[in-house]
Amino acid sequence: MIILKLGGSVVTDKSRPFSFREEVVRRLAEEIRDSDVEGLLIVHGGGAFGHPVASEYGIEDGLNEPGQLMGVAKTRAAMAELNQRIVEVLVECGIPAVSIQTSAVFECRDKRIYSGRIEPVRDFLGIGAVPVLYGDVVVDRSLGVCILSGDQIVAYLAERLKPEQVILATDVDGVLDKNGRVIERVNDANAPSAVEASFVPAGDVTGGMKGKIEELLELAKRGVSSVIVNALVEDRLKNALLGKKTIGTLFEVKR
């Protein structure tokens, strides 16, 4: 089984609010279909849909005044719309994709998942469907609400479902070193410099590449390897799905 994260910067154009990259998503859906991988779970980010609304209402710092409640509703609706569009394209391409709503499955405490119900995920995988989850606003027992990133969802599910591989489809070639070259493999030895080299893009309320690296290092410790690829370049996702060598950064599991 493979867990595929489709980054918010892949499925949307983060520079333009509510811009859905339908052509990119359709190509990726075709790469997924053509790879014919058995057992697939998809998680996508918020990108140009979730982040602008969440930022406008200050949702990332929790629920502090009643006016933010409409911000919660609007962020939820925006994310549901993005999810709906992605699922529709997947279904049109013949992939039996079923959305699984993050906020119905996860609750947080201080921005970390403390309760998750993965039965629906297991069940839909069990009947051969492709569950599609997404970064979203969820209830937070300490803060009222919080933004739960797709990356944290991936880490949580990977730990419990033990996929053969986690694939992070992003808009960069991988983790870059200070000279702009792709670091092919990240392990305990070079992890600090990899984290150092990374950066958080402006307007990303969920932590950017730094957050990703930390989640993936943690995941490798727990026995799940992962790879970051640039899904804006044709066939890289397909090659990663097929287990073929492609440009990207691999987070190795220590044997």
- Kindly list the residues in this chain that would bind its own copies in the complex (CB under 8 A): 63, 66, 69-70, 72-74, 76-77, 80-81, 83-84, 87-88, 91, 94-101, 103-105, 107, 115, 117, 119-120, 123-124, 126-129, 139, 144-145
What is the rounded distance in angstroms from the CA atom of residue 246 to the CA atom of residue 97?
A: 26
Residue listed under structure tokens 């006016």: 67
Of 113 and 250, the one with the shorter C-beta distance to its own copies is 113
Of 117 and 244, the one with the shorter C-beta distance to its own copies is 117
Least distance (Å) between residue 166 CB and its own copies? 22
Least distance (Å) between residue 130 CB and its own copies? 8
Of 80 and 242, the one with the shorter C-beta distance to its own copies is 80
What is the residue type of 245? K
Residue listed under structure tokens 């489809």: 169
Least distance (Å) between residue 121 CB and its own copies? 9
What is the residue type of 210? K
Q: Please say whether the dihedral angle defined by the alpha carbons of residues 158, 159, 160 and 163, taken in this order, is positive or negative.
A: positive
What is the rounded distance in angstroms from the CA atom of residue 76 to the CA atom of residue 37?
A: 30
200 φ, ψ (degrees, to nearest 5): -105, 115
What is the rounded distance in angstroms from the CA atom of residue 28 to the CA atom of residue 19?
A: 17
Least distance (Å) between residue 33 CB and its own copies? 12
Least distance (Å) between residue 161 CB and its own copies? 16
Of 120 and 211, the one with the shorter C-beta distance to its own copies is 120
Of 55 and 103, the one with the shorter C-beta distance to its own copies is 103
What is the residue type of 161? L
